[in-house]
Chains A and B, each alone.
Chain A
């Protein structure tokens, strides 16, 4: 299953909303996770089940979608949110695949 993320780079001002997209090449139901990765750090789980926030993740992060189209929304960007975001499907477990990532940068 190929995961395609868009855009590759998103320029956003602090306080604005960011909307990231992820598309699966075939239906994956709601078996989708989102991760955040900052430079030099390991990825951090944000969302699983397409819309369930992981423990400790702020409410400004929300996920929607099912089937093949998914969205991660950051409602009001904080300085700590500028990072690369990856989606990952696990519908085809154990053959897991990640998207290519969306870099959220300061506008």
Chain B
């Protein structure tokens, strides 16, 4: 069955860096656009990055552009998020999600998330 498992979260100081990973199983990520979506504690959902199936195209909202980098390793069936210059407002649970193959912008499978805490 389809499974997404995030890892790499933790406590980091403001200005620090962290790299999140998402290991996929039950499907080939090379066939799908993938994304990272975050949720601050007690808050709603915010999309933070997108990557095309080949990895040649990436997209970010202004809130993280220039600080976050999404990448993928299709051979390892894994997705990554490099987060630099972290701020307190980046504190959140980070989910990786698979975009539905027939409907761009809809996410049919999500991981359980990994918590990133930015604090001194």
Chain A residues close to B by CB (< 8 Å): 31, 33, 35, 41-45, 48-49, 54-55, 86, 88, 90-91, 93-101
Contact = CB atoms under 8 A, between A and B. Distances in A.
Contacts of B106: 33, 45, 48, 90
Interface string B93-117: 0010000100111111011110000
Nearest to A43: B110
A11 to B, nearest CB: 19
29 contacts: A33-B107, A42-B111, A42-B112, A42-B113, A43-B45, A43-B110, A45-B107, A48-B103, A55-B108, A86-B45, A88-B105, A90-B104, A90-B105, A90-B106, A91-B105, A93-B104, A93-B105, A94-B47, A95-B47, A95-B59, A95-B61, A96-B47, A96-B105, A97-B47, A98-B44, A98-B45, A99-B44, A100-B44, A101-B44
Interface of B: 44-47, 50, 59, 61, 95, 100, 103-108, 110-113
Interface SS of chain A: loop
